[in-house]
Amino acid sequence: MIDSGEPVEGDSTQILRQEASIYARYLSGGPAPPEIIERHVDACRKLLLDRPAREEQGLLAFARRHPWSLPALDAACSVIRPEAMLRKRLFVMLALLETSPAHAPLFIATPRRRLAAVGRLVLHGVSASLKVVLGLALYPVARGTR
């Protein structure tokens, strides 16, 4: 039998579950309940996000093996490849977390003083810029991974 490089059905499901867990931790700071993980797997299958193109596989595998790189790779993809499979899968998890009652408070803004809001805005801007720079440096390495 010739290996096409595509994961078999069981492997694909395990990979999607592993990624869902990593994405949830990245987006929410904590683990996702099993039902969110399974909904992510189902959504990826229904949206045809479960079979990435060959050029996408390296980036996804790198992010899976090195979860610390996800913020930087996400930031870099937002600039150079906004339609990347990584971002699409992250958006699916983001939508699931946002609509989950347990995680909804993460997405509800709390009142802040104007100076504190401006300070946070500046810090987030600097942080995002650093992530983009790191991600742009890391992207070629991550993409070449199989």
Q: Per-residue pLDDT tens for 18-29?
A: 999 999 999 999
Within-domain flag for 41:
yes
pTM: 0.82
Which structural domain range is residue 19 located in? 9-143
70-80 vs 9-28: helix crossing angle, rounded to 10: 90
Within-domain flag for 4:
no
CB 59 within 8 A of CB 142: yes
Query: Up-side HSE of residue 112: CA atoms within 13 Å toward CB?
Result: 11
pLDDT given at position 146? 55
pLDDT tens-digit series, residues 97-106 = 999 888 888 8
Find where tokens 């104007």 sit.
114
Within-domain flag for 115:
yes
pLDDT given at position 16? 95
Within-domain flag for 2:
no
The domain tally of the chain equals: 1
pLDDT given at position 145? 65
pLDDT tens-digit series, residues 119-143 = 988 999 999 999 999 999 999 999 8
Is residue 7 over pLDDT 80?
Answer: no
- Computed over every residue of the chain, the mean pLDDT equals 88
Within-domain flag for 51:
yes
Find where tokens 């797997």 sit.
41
Is residue 44 over pLDDT 70?
Answer: yes
Is residue 61 over pLDDT 70?
Answer: yes
Is residue 3 over pLDDT 50?
Answer: no
* Mean pLDDT along residues 51-65: 92
Between 68 and 114, the more confident residue is 68
